[in-house]
Amino acid sequence: MGNQQLKKTMNGAVILTIAAFVAKVLSAVYRVPFQNMVGNTGFYVYQQVYPLYGLGMTLALNGLPVFLSKIIAETPTPEMQRKVQQKLFVLLAAFSLGIFLALYFGANVIAEGMGDRQLNGIIQAVSWQFLLVPFLSVSRGYFQGTFQMIPTAVSQVVEQVVRVAVILLVAYTYNASFESVYQMGADAMSSAWIAAIAASMTMAIFIVSHYKNRPFSAEIHPDSDPVPTYQKLLKRLGTEGLVLCLLSAMLLLLQLVDSFTLYNGLIQSGVEPESARNLKGIYDRGQPLVQLGMVVATAFSSSLLPMLTVSVVEKKTADFIHIAKSFLRITITIATAATFGMILLTPYLNHTLFGDKEGNLTIGIYLIAIFLASLIGAVNAIFQSRNQHRLAFVGLMIGLLVKALVNTYLVELRGTAGSSLGTVLALLATLVFSWLKLDGQLKTAVYAKGFCWKLVVSSIMMGVTVIVVTSLIHLTGLDASRTGSFVVAILGVGIGVAVFVKAIISVKLLTLREWLSLPFGKRVLRK
């Protein structure tokens, strides 16, 4: 790969990272006002079906475009790329149509499996977005495969903005209308296909602009390799493509297991249906908090991903090992701080964002997922950079199996806290497997130079400080109001971050090079 091409690729990676960051923040933040407007039961109705939407979004935005871009990049000429695009579109159209038909006409069966037949209209509403997956994934894959990241980035942000706007509009009008909470859920989930249409229109504009004044020749040079057959492309879609899609949807798949087991488990344990819906809505508060925590935990370490890619492309093994170690250390450091800090502040965050302190234990356990999922993502990024997709896939399957096997039992035993524990155990099983398969040289990133002990000491210093400060404020009664809890949460975050950063600098947890590789790292060191 030439220097210009490499520079273009790295710039594109930065653009996509920024767009993904904006989209993730939007996706997490909108659920707070949404829950405030529709209540716990309304939130339950939406969240029960949300994993199905999330899977469709993952197909169209993350998994398939990344995989398709790889195929396009491997195709030598524009003419062959066009032929490959056409074949991929046909295959994905058949696949997406099958999913649409299964969801639309199987909505009653799926809703019954979730324990609530009234969800069928919401499932049908979300099914329509799958009809737009082929166009979105192929067009995004093509542009990414030709190192043009702006179309995907812009369409990604447009899609999220439109979807959030529709959802919040539906929630706002819900209280003024006489429609049922299930009709509100169906209207809110219609945002999936409305946003997909907006994203498709955005991509169409980029496609027209791209091919304008660029006459297309259907001729293929006789010396070129033959265009891959449908059979070959289908085989790659079913292996490499499937793995990438599933890995991108790890937390969504665990949430999907919750959709089929948590509500049913509560009912089986003797909880009344209305109370079960309310409890599930409270449980779902943890998901946006985990998303926000993971955005923080991964935003900093992702700055090293382009460097990791460069070292693989240029076959610089020593550089790869060094960068991968730093990648792991930074991810573990930030994920630990984000997880521990948010758990300590759970009562205040819960009260501030959702209006009460119900489900603190359930949410606190669920927040452990920030650390586990962030580290799994880092390890999987290393696996995928080395084309070790199978290891990442097996780890994911182990986690899903654990969640499916233990969740109902834990729910019947401990209610929603049991389901949070099921998610933590599933992620822990995935992490243990993945860590055991990781290169021995990379594991030393955690064991060398007292890294673990330094991290523990820094975390304890932060935790003790936050507990003392919040306890003193609690004695004043300030946190009795929602505004007061907001003040406590802000103070807790600010003091916790300051103490943790000061502590890890004092104990030299990260190297100077690692600090300088982070956004704002140089500024932090100066201060």
What pLDDT, in 10s, does the model give residues 391-402? Answer: 888 999 999 999
Instruction: Count other C-beta atoms under 10 Å from residue 234's C-beta.
Output: 17
Instruction: Count other C-beta atoms under 10 Å from residue 460's C-beta.
Output: 12
Q: What is the DSSP string of 89-133?
A: HHHHHHHHHHHHHHHHHTHHHHHHHTT-GGGHHHHHHHHGGGGGH
In angstroms, what CA-CA distances link 491 with 323, 333, 466, 519?
34, 21, 9, 23
Question: Where exactly are the structural domains of the chain?
Answer: 1-214+225-248
132-146, 335-349, 508-522: least confidently modelled range: 508-522
147-156, 172-181, 211-220, 471-480: least confidently modelled range: 211-220
Average pLDDT over residues 82-103: 89
Residue 70 C-beta-side C-alpha neighbours within 13 Å: 14
107-116, 287-296, 481-490: least confidently modelled range: 287-296
The single-letter code of the amino acid at 475 is L
The pLDDT-based confidence of 166 (bands split at 50, 70, 90) is very high
What backbone torsions phi and psi does residue 177 show, to the nearest 5 degrees? Answer: -105, 175
Phi-psi region of 506 (alpha: psi -120 to 50; beta: other; left: phi over 0): alpha
Average pLDDT over residues 236-255: 83
Say yes or no to pLDDT of 40 above 50. Answer: yes
**Helices (DSSP H) in 273-415: which residue ranges?**
273-283, 286-301, 305-313, 317-344, 346-354, 360-366, 368-385, 389-414
Q: How many residues does the chain have?
A: 527
What pLDDT, in 10s, does the model give residues 417-448? Answer: 999 999 999 999 999 999 999 888 888 878 87
Tell me the C-alpha distance between 119 and 182, whole Å. 7
Burial class (CB in 10 A: 0-12, 13-18, 19+), 317: exposed
Residue 262 C-beta-side C-alpha neighbours within 13 Å: 30
The pLDDT-based confidence of 525 (bands split at 50, 70, 90) is low
Average pLDDT over residues 53-73: 78
Burial class (CB in 10 A: 0-12, 13-18, 19+), 315: exposed
Say yes or no to pLDDT of 9 above 60. Answer: no
The mean predicted confidence, pLDDT, of the chain is 85
Average pLDDT over residues 460-473: 94
68-77, 151-160, 216-225, 512-521: least confidently modelled range: 216-225
Tell me the C-alpha distance between 434 and 90, whole Å. 35
In 3D, which of 300, 244, 282 has the Cα closest to residue 360? 282
What backbone torsions phi and psi does residue 53 show, to the nearest 5 degrees? Answer: -60, -45
In 3D, which of 454, 458, 455 has the Cα closest to residue 502? 458
In 3D, which of 323, 376, 365 has the Cα closest to residue 511? 323
Cα angle 320, 324, 330 (rounded to 5 degrees) comes to 150
Tell me the C-alpha distance between 249 and 234, whole Å. 21
The single-letter code of the amino acid at 270 is G
DSSP percent split of the chain into helix, strand, coil, nearest 5: 85, 0, 15
Q: Would you say 342 and 352 are in contact if contact means Cβ atoms under 8 Å apart?
A: no
Say yes or no to pLDDT of 520 above 70. Answer: no
